[in-house]
Amino acid sequence: MNPPPRSLPARGTAGFTILEVAMAVAVLALVFISAVTAFQSAFLQLDSARNLSTAAAILHTELEKERMLPWATVSDVNYAPAIDSGFTRSPLLAGRFTLTRTVTTVAGHGGLMVQITLNVRWRGYDGRQLARTVTTYYAQGGLNAYYLSPS
């Protein structure tokens, strides 16, 4: 005996309606927009972290160079530091960072101590101007010689 013939499903019970498809597309668009926003934020954070690390390395390198300079050069307010060639050699970093230096004579020390402030500036991924600064003190003959020498 032959099986009974299959009947077709009633109209409207199979497939998706236009409204269901539109809702699915809207949910997928929301997920996609959220992912793009998250990626942009992640790239901004990654760029900021990389630049802060590079700026700290530039400052540390300059501090070490200045530590080795003679007093006449260190105390000279016209001395202009240059970013080390190890940083400017990279095409991604060349010209992106600027290094400035400010020297102030510390009062009450007979002109034998200066405060040195180094400042590195750069433009971030989002176009904002960013900076990192470090301040140190330098005494003629070194801080130990200054504080340990008899007055």
81-92: per-residue pLDDT in tens? 999 888 888 887
132-141: per-residue pLDDT in tens? 999 999 988 7
Partners of 104 in beta bridges: 115
Distances (CA, A) of 29 to 18, 23, 25, 68, 75: 16, 10, 6, 59, 61
The token duo for 73 is: 């050069």
The helix, strand and coil proportions of the chain, stated in percent and rounded to the nearest 5, come to: 40, 20, 40
What is the value of pTM for the model shown?
A: 0.71
37-73: per-residue pLDDT in tens? 999 889 888 988 999 999 999 999 999 998 888 889 9
Residue 83, number of CB atoms within 10 A of its CB: 18
